[in-house]
Amino acid sequence: MADNSLPKEKEKRESIFLKERFMAAACIFAAAAGLVSLVFCIRARDAFAVFETLTKLVTAVAMYLAFRSFKWDVAKGLMGGVLFCLLYQEAHLVLAQLWSEQDFDVYLVAGVQGSLYLAAAGMSCLMTAIITLNHFFINYSTHGNPKDVILNRIAIIFKFAVYLLLFAANSRLGLSASLLLRNAVRYLTDIALLLLLVSIESQFDSFNALRQELLGLKRKSP
């Protein structure tokens, strides 16, 4: 009688990010949250927010479709586009909006939650910079696919924690309900994009591992 316990155990140990259903769900969630965010941006007549939301929305869907079509290089390039878009968006929030428009003082006056929001926004931007630099300039430029992604994993986990802090601080800032909701949907979109990025990168890593296994078997065969 065949023992089917091994495949089941392997499936249990397998990361959720290697599930294609999870990747599809992350893409759908990113698209839905992006569309809602786009509506808020259009109503607020914020041209920059409309542009960045459209860019993230279109790039996320294109990235998923490129991966599904097995166009690895295209998907990798689009992953870079998403990361650079997030980095530019967060840098604009921290440097242009919070500092240049003197919102910095406004958030400090808001007390602890305002200070937490400022700190979380800055840390989120820093983590995205670390992920982007490590992902493309250090790993992919030298190895093709990253072999040691521990720095990325730490940065991504920390970034998720920062997003939760942004949610909590944002909800207690005393801003208008529409602005609070707009910010919340924006963060949801970014979280979904990050989940999609991690999922696709995990797939790349698994395909790279499979390729190495196949090459090893080929070398051993007579």
**Pair of tokens at residue 14:** 């397998």
In a domain, 6, yes or no: no
In a domain, 33, yes or no: yes
In a domain, 12, yes or no: no
Using alpha carbons, select from 84, 81, 96, 83 the residue that is nearest to residue 48: 96
In a domain, 56, yes or no: yes
In a domain, 75, yes or no: yes
pLDDT above 90 covers what percent of the chain?
4
Q: Return d(Cα 76, Cα 204) in angstroms, integer.
A: 9
In a domain, 221, yes or no: no
Domain count of the chain?
1
Taking only the tens place, the pLDDT of each residue in 66-86 is 988 878 778 878 888 888 888
In a domain, 15, yes or no: no
pLDDT of residue 32: 92
Taking only the tens place, the pLDDT of each residue in 9-52 is 445 556 777 788 888 898 999 999 989 989 988 888 888 888 88
Q: Return d(Cα 29, Cα 35) in angstroms, integer.
A: 10
In a domain, 122, yes or no: yes
Torsion of CA 188, 193, 198, 203, to 10 degrees: 130
For the entire predicted model, the pTM comes to 0.78
* Residue ranges making up the domain that contains 144: 20-205
pLDDT of residue 185: 87
Q: Return d(Cα 192, Cα 162) in angstroms, integer.
A: 14
